[in-house]
């Protein structure tokens, strides 16, 4: 057989047939190099065998035993019709029974007289308190029984490939390790203070010591791999950006006094200091020769919309078209109404939603293509192939976390290097922002408009609902309006609306004299719109809704948010919902109703939420609890799947990687590109057991 090379396909390894090759490919492993980068997720220290005579003290803890097989036989369990294989292992101090289920082939592999090392958990089973180890890991050994075992790496399971076989494949592949190029040149390795790749990889697969540093993934070997992962990301982001910057925009944007006056005229209130600062940052970007790529981050209700609208207006007055992408039709409608109010008829505004009629769609498409529609506000409908612009100068994405990377990219591709502004009300913790948006400029509105109420948050158990209802009734009598939200996933077409409709009926029965309406994502869009308008006009007292109202909705007179089964929501989602109230002068409340059977940790989460005010705090908690993948939703988490790095735990390393990426670029783009290329060539296995 030809010597094993890093690029050798796994199929050429001994023991890998078509079936296994397919299983491995499913886990993202195609070459020997991929195998080397498939890291264990834990280790078992099998160096110190226990004695059978001591097992009585070791019940329910994993032990290693080394001994000789006294007897071995296959039989069928009479009760469960299961194939059993039983062996008795004797180590001189005593003997213990081993049992495997449905593994008949073992009869060919384990024979009386064999020397066996087994690793498993002794339990008391059967009559008379006999000790048994069920389905232990096993290995034959030569040589003396008292000889030491080793530290065994445990890999996440790939199909039905036996752990031992997988381990053997990886160990075989390690022989090709000296041929793997270190993608980090010496000088960068020195700057990062990390060891070479070979030493690191070998130490991770075959450690000689399991000390605390190693187990916390802070050994030199781990630091090497983590820093490499982070550096790869940061360098790739920066290289991309550096390349973009080479190209200059063709449009020239001028902001003159006439425009400033117009802005002042249309503003219904005084901007906060934070809004002014952010607006200045954006205006500078728009006038610069480089395309803007800016994330506007601001807590719920901090007033991002007006900033976006002013930016849009500045572009429109410079004869550029502007697109604003929003996640829901309701939000599109709200933006549309608000902008029409502000701008009168001085700007040609259009909407793009999935429920447009054919005629409306035609008008929209020709209007955008020919350029007489200056501003379009739309949902995903905006992303359709047919929607083309004459000159898209600014693309804005509201609630950007609700869109995937490809969706945003689709919008951006509709212009020629458009300026890009993405906005989010789910504050992204610093650690995540750095990881995902290493290449984005960040603007933060860290101040709420004046006069905002502090929202009182309360946790109540389901059986207290009557008292909650009484309270609500009292508030309605004083003129307040109420949201009641039920946990129904909006995204899914098939989601069961029953809890909502039942909740709606229950609310109507409880509040016969009040005006109660229902809203969910699957209603026709004009129905939704009408309901929303009636709620805004104060013609509805209680709006029973799904999370369709989660983002953006702005009704100042609504002052109570009652969330049913609050324990089923994520913290950031609760924060978004809570942000729907406290927008006017009315004292506002967010009441979290939880199931009596809610788990203790779910209640802890709610308490944590009750105490935290600021969206960043909530987001940090949420991130800690759910991890980056869940926090961002799977759509965005792709870039954050590290083999070893953990952006929360290893935030310091991410910063270090970013700083080095910046200096590397500064020292010369061609070399940086070259290094980035090499780094990106390092495989990323699809799954590790951490997920």
Position among 171, 269, 346, 604 found at the interface with ligand ADP (CB under 6 A): 269
Contacting range for ligand ADP; rule: CB under 6 A; set: 302-310, 409-417, 504-512, 646-654? 302-310
- Of Mg ion, ligand ADP, none, which one sits near residue 219, judging by CB under 5 to 8 A according to partner kind? none
Contacting range for ligand ADP; rule: CB under 6 A; set: 109-117, 157-165, 263-271, 341-349? 263-271
Q: How far apart are CA 553 and CA 327, in angstroms?
A: 12
- With binding defined as CB under 6 A, does residue 302 bind ligand ADP? yes
- With binding defined as CB under 6 A, does residue 271 bind ligand ADP? yes
Whether residue 592 contacts residue 609, with contact meaning beta carbons closer than 8 Å, is answered with yes
Q: How far apart are CA 399 and CA 281, in angstroms?
A: 20
- Of ligand ADP, Mg ion, none, which one sits near residue 353, judging by CB under 5 to 8 A according to partner kind? none
Q: How far apart are CA 373 and CA 364, in angstroms?
A: 8
Q: Which residue is nearest to Mg ion (CB)?
A: 552
Q: Which residue is nearest to ligand ADP (CB)?
A: 303
| Mode of pairing for the β-strands spanning 375-378 and 349-352 | parallel
CB closer to ligand ADP, 298 vs 685: 298
Whether residue 421 contacts residue 399, with contact meaning beta carbons closer than 8 Å, is answered with no
Q: CA angle, 606 as apex, 600 and 610 as ends, to 5°? A: 140
Output the smallest distance, CB 300 to Mg ion, in A.
8
Smallest CA-to-CA distance from 152 within 35, 64, 60, 220 is with: 64
Helices then strands (H, E): number in the chain? 24, 22
Position among 122, 303, 415, 503 found at the interface with ligand ADP (CB under 6 A): 303
The beta strands (E) that lie in 291-424 are given as 293-298, 321-325, 349-352, 375-378, 392-397, 419-424
The phi and psi torsions of 420 (rounded to 5 degrees) equal -125, 130
CB closer to Mg ion, 49 vs 552: 552
CB closer to ligand ADP, 143 vs 451: 451
- Of Mg ion, ligand ADP, none, which one sits near residue 449, judging by CB under 5 to 8 A according to partner kind? ligand ADP
- Of Mg ion, ligand ADP, none, which one sits near residue 306, judging by CB under 5 to 8 A according to partner kind? ligand ADP
Position among 136, 552, 584, 615 found at the interface with Mg ion (CB under 5 A): 552
From residue 512 to residue 551, the character string flagging contacts with Mg ion as x (rule: CB under 5 A) and all else as - is ----------------------------------------
- Of ligand ADP, Mg ion, none, which one sits near residue 220, judging by CB under 5 to 8 A according to partner kind? none
- Of Mg ion, ligand ADP, none, which one sits near residue 379, judging by CB under 5 to 8 A according to partner kind? none
Counting beta carbons within 10 angstroms of the beta carbon of residue 688, is it exposed (0 to 12), middle (13 to 18) or buried (19 or more)? middle
From residue 416 to residue 435, the character string flagging contacts with ligand ADP as x (rule: CB under 6 A) and all else as - is ---------x----------
Listed in sequence order, the residues at least 6 apart from 555 whose beta carbon sits closer than 8 Å to its beta carbon are: 481, 535, 536, 580, 583
CB closer to ligand ADP, 269 vs 372: 269
- With binding defined as CB under 6 A, does residue 407 bind ligand ADP? no
Q: In the numeric block, which tokens belong to residue 452?
A: 């905002």
- With binding defined as CB under 5 A, does residue 327 bind Mg ion? no
Counting beta carbons within 10 angstroms of the beta carbon of residue 150, is it exposed (0 to 12), middle (13 to 18) or buried (19 or more)? middle
Smallest CA-to-CA distance from 480 within 344, 410, 582, 572 is with: 582
| SS3 call for 435 | helix
Output the smallest distance, CB 423 to Mg ion, in A.
7
Q: How far apart are CA 502 and CA 493, in angstroms?
A: 19
Q: Which of residues 272-301 bind ligand ADP (CB under 6 A)?
A: 272, 275, 298, 300-301
- Of Mg ion, ligand ADP, none, which one sits near residue 415, judging by CB under 5 to 8 A according to partner kind? none
- The owner of tokens 């007006």 is 306
**Cα distances (Å, whole numbers) of residue 663 to 188, 658, 673:** 10, 9, 13
- With binding defined as CB under 6 A, does residue 305 bind ligand ADP? yes
Contacting range for ligand ADP; rule: CB under 6 A; set: 217-225, 266-274, 501-509, 615-623? 266-274
Output the smallest distance, CB 270 to ligand ADP, in A.
6
- Of ligand ADP, Mg ion, none, which one sits near residue 272, judging by CB under 5 to 8 A according to partner kind? ligand ADP
Q: Which of residues 128-147 bind ligand ADP (CB under 6 A)?
A: none
Listed in sequence order, the residues at least 6 apart from 347 whose beta carbon sits closer than 8 Å to its beta carbon are: 313, 316, 339, 374, 375
CB closer to ligand ADP, 426 vs 507: 426
Q: How far apart are CA 367 and CA 360, in angstroms?
A: 10
**Cα distances (Å, whole numbers) of residue 493 to 113, 231, 329:** 62, 41, 16
Smallest CA-to-CA distance from 487 within 479, 497, 474 is with: 497
CB closer to ligand ADP, 163 vs 449: 449
- With binding defined as CB under 6 A, does residue 402 bind ligand ADP? no
Q: Which of residues 517-576 bind ligand ADP (CB under 6 A)?
A: 552, 554
| SS3 call for 161 | coil
Q: Which of residues 445-484 bind ligand ADP (CB under 6 A)?
A: 449
| SS3 call for 130 | strand
Output the smallest distance, CB 341 to ligand ADP, in A.
10
Output the smallest distance, CB 198 to ligand ADP, in A.
51
Rg (CA), the chain: 31
Q: In the numeric block, which tokens belong to residue 374?
A: 């200056």
Output the smallest distance, CB 215 to ligand ADP, in A.
43
Counting beta carbons within 10 angstroms of the beta carbon of residue 483, is it exposed (0 to 12), middle (13 to 18) or buried (19 or more)? buried
CB closer to ligand ADP, 276 vs 386: 276
Output the smallest distance, CB 271 to ligand ADP, in A.
5
CB closer to ligand ADP, 378 vs 552: 552
How many C-beta neighbours within 10 Å does residue 145 have?
16
How many C-beta neighbours within 10 Å does residue 679 have?
18
For the chain, first and last CA: distance in Å?
36
Output the smallest distance, CB 444 to ligand ADP, in A.
12
The phi and psi torsions of 494 (rounded to 5 degrees) equal -90, -5
Output the smallest distance, CB 298 to ligand ADP, in A.
5
CB closer to ligand ADP, 219 vs 305: 305
- Of ligand ADP, Mg ion, none, which one sits near residue 351, judging by CB under 5 to 8 A according to partner kind? none
The full length of the chain comes to: 691
Site size for ligand ADP, by CB under 6 A? 18
Instruction: Please give the DSSP secondary-structure letter assigned to residue 555.
Output: -
- Of Mg ion, ligand ADP, none, which one sits near residue 297, judging by CB under 5 to 8 A according to partner kind? none
Output the smallest distance, CB 211 to ligand ADP, in A.
49
- What residues line the site for ligand ADP (CB under 6 A)? 269-272, 275, 298, 300-306, 425, 449, 552, 554, 583
- What residues line the site for Mg ion (CB under 5 A)? 552
């Amino acid at each position: 057989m030809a010597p094993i090379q890093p690029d050798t396909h796994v199929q050429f390894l001994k023991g890998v047939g078509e079936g296994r090759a397919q299983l491995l490919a499913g886990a993202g492993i195609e070459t020997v190099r991929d195998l080397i980068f498939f890291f264990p997720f834990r280790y078992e220290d099998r160096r110190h065998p226990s004695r059978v005579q001591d097992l009585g003290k070791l019940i329910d803890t994993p032990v290693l035993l080394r001994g000789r097989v006294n007897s071995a036989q296959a039989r069928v369990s009479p009760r469960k019709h299961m194939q059993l294989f039983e062996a008795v292992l004797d180590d001189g101090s005593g003997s213990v029974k081993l049992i495997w289920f449905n593994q008949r082939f073992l009869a060919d592999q384990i024979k009386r007289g064999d020397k066996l090392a087994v690793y498993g958990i002794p339990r008391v089973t059967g009559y008379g308190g006999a000790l048994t180890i069920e389905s232990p890991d096993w290995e034959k050994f030569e040589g003396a029984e008292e000889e030491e075992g080793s530290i065994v790496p445990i890999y996440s399971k790939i199909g039905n490939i036996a752990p031992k076989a997988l381990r053997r494949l990886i160990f075989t592949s390690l022989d090709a390790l000296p041929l793997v190029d270190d993608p980090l040149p010496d000088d960068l390795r020195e700057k990062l203070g990390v060891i070479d790749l070979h030493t690191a990889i070998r130490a991770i697969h075959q450690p000689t010591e399991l000390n605390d540093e190693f187990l916390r993934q802070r050994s030199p070997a781990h630091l090497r791999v983590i820093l490499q992962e982070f550096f790869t990301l940061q360098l790739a982001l920066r290289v991309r950006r550096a390349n973009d910057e080479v190209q200059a925009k063709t449009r020239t944007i001028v902001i003159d006094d006439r425009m400033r006056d117009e802005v002042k005229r249309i503003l219904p209130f005084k901007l906060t200091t934070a809004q002014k600062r952010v607006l200045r940052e954006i205006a500078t970007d728009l006038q610069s020769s480089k395309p803007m790529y800016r994330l506007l981050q601001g807590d719920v209700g901090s007033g991002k919309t007006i900033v976006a609208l002013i930016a849009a207006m500045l572009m429109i007055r410079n004869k550029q078209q502007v697109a604003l992408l929003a996640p829901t039709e309701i939000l599109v409608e709200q933006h549309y109404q608000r902008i029409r109010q502000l701008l009168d008829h001085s700007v040609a505004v259009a909407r793009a939603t999935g429920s447009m009629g054919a005629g409306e769609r035609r008008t929209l498409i020709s209007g955008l293509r020919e350029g007489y529609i200056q501003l379009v506000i739309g949902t995903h409908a905006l992303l359709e192939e047919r929607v083309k612009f004459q000159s898209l100068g600014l693309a804005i994405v509201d609630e950007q976390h609700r869109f995937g990377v490809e969706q945003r990219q689709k919008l951006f591709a509709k212009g020629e290097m458009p300026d890009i502004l993405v906005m989010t009300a789910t504050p992204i913790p610093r650690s995540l922002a750095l990881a995902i948006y290493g290449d984005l400029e960040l603007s933060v509105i860290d101040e709420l408009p004046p006069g905002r109420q502090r929202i009182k948050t309360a946790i109540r158990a389901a059986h207290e609902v009557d008292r909650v209802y009484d309270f609500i009734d009292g508030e309605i009598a004083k003129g307040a309006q109420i949201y009641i939200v039920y946990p129904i996933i909006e995204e899914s077409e098939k989601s069961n609306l029953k809890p909502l409709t039942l909740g709606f009926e229950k609310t109507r029965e409880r509040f016969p004299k009040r005006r109660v309406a229902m809203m969910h994502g699957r209603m026709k869009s004009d129905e939704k719109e009408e309901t929303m308008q009636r709620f805004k006009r104060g013609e509805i007292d209680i709006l029973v809704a799904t999370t369709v109202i989660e983002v953006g909705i702005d009704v100042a007179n609504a002052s109570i948010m009652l969330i049913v089964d609050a324990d089923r929501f994520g913290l950031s989602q609760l924060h978004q919902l809570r942000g729907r109230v406290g927008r006017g002068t009315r004292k506002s409340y967010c009441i979290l109703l939880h199931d009596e059977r809610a788990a203790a940790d779910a209640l802890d989460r709610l308490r944590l939420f009750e105490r935290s005010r600021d969206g960043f705090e909530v987001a940090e908690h949420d991130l800690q609890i759910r991890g980056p993948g869940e926090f961002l939703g799977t759509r965005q988490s792709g870039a954050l799947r590290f083999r070893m790095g953990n952006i929360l735990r290893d935030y310091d390393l991410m910063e270090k990687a970013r700083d080095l990426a910046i200096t590397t670029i500064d020292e010369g783009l061609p070399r940086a590109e070259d290094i980035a290329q090499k780094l990106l060539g390092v495989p990323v296995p699809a799954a590790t057991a951490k997920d």
